[in-house]
Amino acid sequence: MNRAVLVGINAYPGAELRGCVNDVTDMAEFLVSHCAFEEDEIRLLTDGRATTDAIKERLTWLLNGLKAGDRVVFHYSGHGAQFPVRDAGGSVVRVDECICPVDFDWTEQHAIRDKEFAVLFKSVPAGVHFEWISDSCFSGDMMKPMLPPGRRIKSMPVPADFAWRLRTAETKGIMPEGWEHIIEGMNVVLISGCSQKEESADADIEGRPNGALTYYLLHTLSTPHGLTQTLVQALARTRSALHSNGFTQHPQLEGSKNLMNEPFLAALKMAAAA
């Protein structure tokens, strides 16, 4: 069985992006043309339809009834954020990382945080080929770096009160746990757009808006030997392509070591079995 949920959001009120919908439609086309997915096995959520509840509902569908040999993709392209949490006494006690649905409003009800993903994905059974692509970033820094024309940062702008919480957390030495620890021991591999302190770019590439990670990852996988290389090799080549084209982000590969050392969606094994 194949299943994919692809979420791309440009239409954030006051924090618009441009390439995220292209990212997920490009991924959908790639899954059909290169990975033997059927159109009916892929569900897209874009812009105003990509609410917190809708994303969670699609993830429930994605993960329901999985068994060994199934191939599963969750691709998110949009803003990320660091979410500082206070306890009942008002003290900042931790910093979560989260993706930002279109209705994200800096409340716990309208964010999907790392701890929630851990609960969802811990049920993925052994033998499932589950690849999670997150073309976003989670930097809490309010200082925006100077970017070339046509490039935008995929990190939600931080309001002043949450920036103060993040400053408080930093002063207390409270750091996000990090995705590597969140999904440790799970049968999931995460391809993320950058390291924890970096920004993922939403950019105009060859005259068309795209997320830089998604564009160069799909370019790497589409080469003649793209689906026979391991994910470790594919990510190294993706990173090299990014840097050769002036992007400074360093995509990360985290989670299952077994999946990292197989091709994307185990395409080589699937082709041999056919």
Give per-residue pLDDT as tens, 86-99. 999 999 999 999 99
Residues 6 or more apart in contact with residue 135 via CB below 8 angstroms = 20, 23, 75, 76, 77, 78, 154, 193, 200, 211, 212, 213, 214
Query: Residue ranges per domain, the chain?
Result: 2-273
Residues 6 or more apart in contact with residue 70 via CB below 8 angstroms = 1, 2, 3, 128, 129
Distance CA 40, CA 27 (A): 14
User: What is the CATH number that goes with domain 2-273?
Assistant: 3.40.50.1460
Residues 6 or more apart in contact with residue 242 via CB below 8 angstroms = 212, 213, 216, 249, 251
Count of Cβ atoms closer than 10 Å to residue 95 Cβ? 21
- Residue 103 in contact with residue 51, Cβ under 8 Å? yes
Residues 6 or more apart in contact with residue 173 via CB below 8 angstroms = none
Residues 6 or more apart in contact with residue 76 via CB below 8 angstroms = 7, 8, 99, 132, 133, 134, 135, 136
Nearest in space to 153 (alpha carbons), one of 109, 118, 190, 203? 203
Distance CA 187, CA 129 (A): 8
Q: What are phi and psi of 247, to 5 degrees?
A: -100, 135
Distance CA 72, CA 132 (A): 8
pLDDT tens for the chain, 274 residues long, are 999 999 999 999 999 999 999 999 999 999 999 999 999 999 999 999 999 999 999 999 999 999 999 999 999 999 999 999 999 999 999 999 999 999 999 999 999 999 899 899 988 999 999 999 999 987 544 445 556 667 888 988 899 999 999 999 999 999 888 777 788 888 999 999 988 778 899 999 999 999 999 999 999 999 988 999 999 999 999 999 999 999 989 999 999 999 999 999 985 444 434 4
Residue 69 CA to chain centroid, in angstroms?
23
